[in-house]
Structure 1
């Protein structure tokens, strides 16, 4: 079983072989056991201490020593921003789950892009993908030079064998793989489907709690980073794939790049159990903004305006008086890509199923469907627990463009907007005048 160290953004140190990690220095003249010292930087050297990200890796061969010439290869359905191949009419969109293929497909070919936002070349924006995997990577390795990857398993477990160690995930957990970290993606049994946020901007971090104070939401202690674990495999005739500049590139290697025997630093992959998120909310009346459910945020240069937020809607109690409890009707400057991992989402009890996803773009009106409105408007307002549910959002300041692939999917619900057709006119002037009486 993989082993982990706890804490978010910590400066960790770990070694798979005792004595492999230098003490008191980063780059000694000779590293123990004939290892090479290599730094992996996730931020500019001169970034402020609070946002400076780097780790020192002590590996059997440096990264540059086991690659040849790169050739560009077909990226399949993995696309990058700016993606302008199709212009759909504005409006809310929703999809049913995409079925898993009945043929062998590894992670490399299993990423299907649904939306893109921003510009990958300027490190702004994001892309929302679905991954469909039916086969483990074997003599294949990968790293993403374009962005950080946030994986959300929805069906089936996934193992991430990385330079820093091994991470196992299941539905209800997430894994975050920083830009530039090499990995191999394996199945933990059967096949796997899930969601993937490719974050082109600044690394995900914990949001500020403000008046909430020091506790609740996603607590730092619950984030887990792997301990060092290395592979020593030579003469394997493997391929290393790299996503760079919006394209996919490949080079042949004869040595596993997951050969880090020891490492230290604060730039590393991690996992988090979404069920440990501690939600907060109003306890008397009215509805708080959904920003209170933000688990991770990628900040932009504008304070309080996210490049992308990762927002959760987990189990929670609803207790407010004289309040319309589901999310209210809304038009938002932010664009919202939403997925359902399991259970039922309270604002869309019908048609939004686990594995499905929706898009409500910038300044596109949305809110509860007619059935949800009717139920919430007439319900007895006693304490109610929403249980067995986990939905999420990728919320970005940048409008998200739908790819041609997603627009032509048979799973696109062409009648989605009809869920609001049942909303009735309820205005009665006399009752308003009477109430003002």
Structure 2
């Protein structure tokens, strides 16, 4: 298992990269010559349709020891913590819907050994169906074992992984990625990888999109600089593994179900590759926050790191938004998030520290869900403190990092997430609604100035 310092990366979001582990492994002048250097096989990995516009086309050419087709047939394996369809009432769905505000305490790590990343994936909620390439899913991973002589790929969509506890040492077909809490990694559809756990038990969150890929949001009036800088996204360099006559297992998630195949060589045998379809990571501490320097505060969309667009202009199928440490200086301003009802659904998680809208109950490794048009906002303690404190410039949450998966889809919940006999349901906070019950009536027709306590 390698350390982070041994890995080399390529820079630039969406760039066409070229990398080789052996000098001259990349063919000169053409993608699929009659004879590839070093006796390698040429294989194209397409992330978009061949006919997609040039500006949107994503594909990479891989030069590998054996082509991916050398394997035994797939066999279906049990996948009780994943779902096939999120449509309530669908014959293949056991999901349920509720407009109630929900909050989970930290999701519990496995109590027994041998749970790797794949088998530690638990679907919390989602919408749509991967078979029609429409919708999203939100998962958590709860793992305590590394993947050895095995790989995983997701045929259903792209995965955006947010580690909360424990680093991830990820070996992919295209090279290595070393990811720690406060970083994210995106593994596009179809790319094979293995996850190893250098720190032991590990926990985190996963956003899956079934349709388009993740991209950087448009900056509009912000201009050329701000938010996530394309140069800070890092891609792996080629690093091949030449292992033969072994038992190697590949697992895929296909239409929400797991299937496995066997082969006698490593899946990580790519000696060189070039293209723009590859996994990548990003350090959230490099996000350039934009905020107010006068009064009020911008909408949370100003903190968008990555987005996956829908077919409606300006409306995201899914946004990945963070609430990083930042200065708050707004004058005569209620600084926590305002009370809100949203046409989008908001799933929040906490990587470390706390969150400025909740005094208690929202903890690292836990989560909350405020569904479409369900009201939410600061609890009583937070409201009263923010309404009466003297406003001075303050560095907000210097030790904390919260995030949000925001989506235009209406989300349905899995049994695992809400029913007490399952692990997720056991940490569901039945009393979450009580944090707002103490909000008092302060209305007074004679108190036009809004003086506190009048």
Q: Is the 8 A contact 1:80 1:127 kept in 2?
A: no
Q: Is the 8 A contact 1:82 1:120 kept in 2?
A: no
State how far apart, in whole Å, the 2-side matches of 1:144 and 1:88 are: 25
Q: Is the 8 A contact 1:308 1:395 kept in 2?
A: yes
Q: Which residue of 2 aligns with 1:75?
A: 79
Q: Is the 8 A contact 2:125 2:139 kept in 1?
A: yes
Q: Secondary structure at the match of 2:261?
A: strand
Q: Which residue of 2 aligns with 1:59?
A: 64
1:160 matches 2:170? yes
State how far apart, in whole Å, the 1-side matches of 2:311 and 2:449 are: 48
Q: Is the 8 A contact 1:172 1:341 kept in 2?
A: yes
State how far apart, in whole Å, the 2-side matches of 1:255 and 1:422 are: 62
Q: Which residue of 2 aligns with 1:246?
A: 256
1:218 matches 2:228? yes
Q: Which residue of 2 aligns with 1:232?
A: 242
Select 2:356's aligned residue among 346, 349, 353. Answer: 346
- Following superposition, the deviation at residue 45 of structure 1 comes to 0.9
Q: Secondary structure at the match of 1:292?
A: helix
State how far apart, in whole Å, the 1-side matches of 2:403 and 2:30 are: 42
State how far apart, in whole Å, the 2-side matches of 1:155 and 1:94 are: 19
1:389 matches 2:400? yes
Structure 1 segments (4+ residues) deviating >4 Å: none
Unpaired runs of at least 5, structure 2: 1-5, 89-93, 420-424
TM-score by length of 2: 0.94
Unpaired runs of at least 5, structure 1: none
Superposed, 1:18-167 pairs within 5 Å as 18-64=23-69, 66-84=70-88, 85-103=94-112, 104-167=114-177
Please give the root-mean-square deviation of Cα atoms over the aligned residues, in Å. 1.3
1:11 matches 2:16? yes
Q: Secondary structure at the match of 2:426?
A: coil
Q: Deviations over 1:16-51 (max 9, x none)?
A: 000000122111111000101111010111111221
Superposed, 1:245-284 pairs within 5 Å as 245-284=255-294
Superposed, 1:366-377 pairs within 5 Å as 366-377=376-387
Q: Is the 8 A contact 2:156 2:189 kept in 1?
A: yes
Aligned residues: 434
State how far apart, in whole Å, the 2-side matches of 1:432 and 1:237 are: 76
State how far apart, in whole Å, the 2-side matches of 1:81 and 1:304 are: 26
